[in-house]
Chain A
C-alpha cells in the first residue's frame, strides 16, 4: 500500500473530525452557558466569546480537499526469510489446484474469536501436512478480505508473504506464520478472509485454501480517544443542564406557594368615625361641634 497516501488520508480525516468536534463543542456549551437562569459576569462573557470565535477561526486551515485514489494492487514484498525467487511473480495471483495428500489448517494463536484490529498486525499460523512421498516447497502465502454476504466483492488484497527456503519433508507437519494488517480505515464488522498457500511438488505448482471463513474487524484504539472524551463531556453537560432546569422549576413552584397567603382580599367596609387616625382632625371636630349645637 502506498504509505504516503495513507498518511495524507489520515491527516485529512483527523482534520475533518477536529472541525466537526469544534462545531459540536461550540453548540453544546453555548446553550449551556448562555442561559437566562445563570447570569455570568461581563468579563467572562467577553472571554467566552473570544474563545468561541477563536475556535471557529482555527478550523479554516484544517479544511482540505480529499482526493480519490484507485484501488491498490496486491504487491509482493521482498521475503523477510530470505532472497526472493525470480519466478515468484508467476505463481502469486495464479489459480492452481490443490495437491492430493496435502492437508492444511489455520490457527489464530491466542485469538480464538478471530479478532483483527484495523491497521495493526495480526498473526495467524498455517499448518501444512505432507502425506506424500516427495518434499514440498512453500512458495508464498497470500490472503484477501471479502464482504461476508457477497463473496465476489473484494475489499482488500493482503500482502503476500514469499518464502525462499521453506520446505516440508514427506510424512511431516510444519507450521508457517503469516502476519497481515487490514486497512486502518476498514469499518468494524464481520468480513470474510480467504487465505491460500502456493507450493510446489516436483516443480509443479499447487495452491490450497487454508482458511475461508469470517474474521471480526474491530477498531484499534485506546480508552481515551477523541470520541470518548467528547461523549463524556456531552453527557456531563446534559446532566448539569437537566439539574439546572429542575432547580429552576423547583424555585418557581416554591415561590407560588409562599405568595398565596400574602394576597389580601381587597378593601373591606370600614366606619369612618371608628378610624383612629381621624381623631383630632377637622372631620371629628365638626361632628362634635354639630353634636354640641344640638
Chain B
C-alpha cells in the first residue's frame, strides 16, 4: 500500500483529482438575465412602460441544461403601476445550453416621479444540486415617469438632421447637379442646330 501511494504518478493523480474537484464549480450553468424598460408617452397624464426580460444560459461546460426556470418580477408596486398586457411572472420547463428565453409585458404608470426598479429574480433547478438556484437580472436605469419634456427648438432639430445626413446629401447633390449640367443641352447650341437645319 505504501509503495502504491509513494509512487509519484499516483501522487500526481491524487493532486489532479483534488484540483479538478475544486474547479468543478466552473461547469455549473451561468444564468445571465437582461432586463430592459422603456417609456412611451401616450398623453400628458399617461405613460406606458414596456419591460422585456431575456434569459441566457451561459457557462463553460456543454451539459448545462437547467430545469423549472421561473421568472418573478415584483419590482413594480401595484399602487404606482397597472399591468396592461402580459404577466410579471412566467415559468418555463427547461433552458438548454446557449439558449435564450424572452418575456415581455406592459405597464401603465400612474404617478409622476423618479422610479428605481429592482432586478427581477430567476429561480431554476440544476441536476447536480438539490436546492433551488437563484439568479438576478440586470438592474434598470432610473425611470423618469411623466417628466416634463423641454420643447425642442426648430433650429436644434434642423441642426441635428444636418449633422446626421449632411455629408450624404451634399455628395448626392453634387453628383446629380453635374449629371444635369452635362445632360441638358444649352439654349445657344440648340439655336445653332436649328439655324443649320434651315
Q: Which residues of A does B touch, CB under 8 Å?
A: 14, 18, 21, 25, 29, 33, 41-44, 47-48, 51, 80-82, 103, 105, 107, 109, 125, 127, 129, 131, 166, 168-169, 171-177, 222, 224-226, 229-230, 233
Contact = CB atoms under 8 A, between A and B. Distances in A.
A173 B129 CA distance: 15
Contact of B136 (A174, A224, A225): A174
Interface stretch (B4-12, B40-48, B149-157, B179-187): B179-187
Interface of B: 25-26, 28, 30-34, 54, 56, 58-59, 116, 119, 133-139, 141-142, 167-168, 170-172, 174-175, 178, 181-182, 185-189, 192
Given A109-B34, A125-B32, A175-B33, A226 B168 contact: yes
A42 B188 contact: yes
Contact of B119 (A18, A127, A171, A174): A174
Contacts of B141: 80-81
Contacts, number: 104
Task: Provide the main secondary structure of the chain B interface.
Answer: mixed
A105 B59 contact: yes
Contact of B182 (A48, A80, A168, A222): A48
Contacts of B182: 33, 44, 48
Contacts of B186: 41, 43-44, 47
B136 A172 contact: yes
B25 A173 contact: no
Contact of A174 (B58, B135, B174, B178): B135
17 contacts: A41-B185, A43-B186, A44-B182, A51-B178, A51-B181, A125-B34, A129-B28, A172-B133, A173-B30, A173-B31, A175-B137, A175-B138, A176-B138, A177-B138, A229-B171, A230-B171, A233-B175
Contacts of B30: 103, 105, 127, 129, 173
Task: Provide the main secondary structure of the chain A interface.
Answer: mixed
B139 A105 contact: no
Contacts of A230: 171
Contacts of B133: 172-173
Contacts of B189: 41-44
A47 B167 contact: no
Contacts of A125: 32, 34, 56, 138
The 9 A-B residue pairs whose C-beta atoms are closest, nearest first, are A41-B189, A43-B186, A174-B136, A173-B135, A43-B188, A127-B32, A172-B134, A177-B138, A175-B138
Contacts of A33: 182
A172 B56 contact: no
A105 B134 CA distance: 16
Contacts of B170: 18
Given A44-B185, A129-B28, A226-B167, 18 more contacts: A18-B167, A21-B171, A41-B188, A41-B192, A42-B188, A43-B186, A44-B189, A48-B181, A51-B178, A82-B116, A103-B30, A105-B58, A125-B56, A127-B58, A172-B135, A175-B32, A175-B119, A226-B171
A51 B30 CA distance: 65
A229 B32 contact: no
B124 to A, nearest CB: 10
Contact of B172 (A127, A129, A175, A229): A229
A81 B34 CA distance: 16
Question: Which residue, A14, A82, A172, A222, has most C-beta atoms of chain B within 10 A?
Answer: A172
B168 A225 contact: yes
Contacts of A82: 116
A174 B142 CA distance: 18
Contacts of B168: 222, 224-226, 229
Nearest to B98: A112
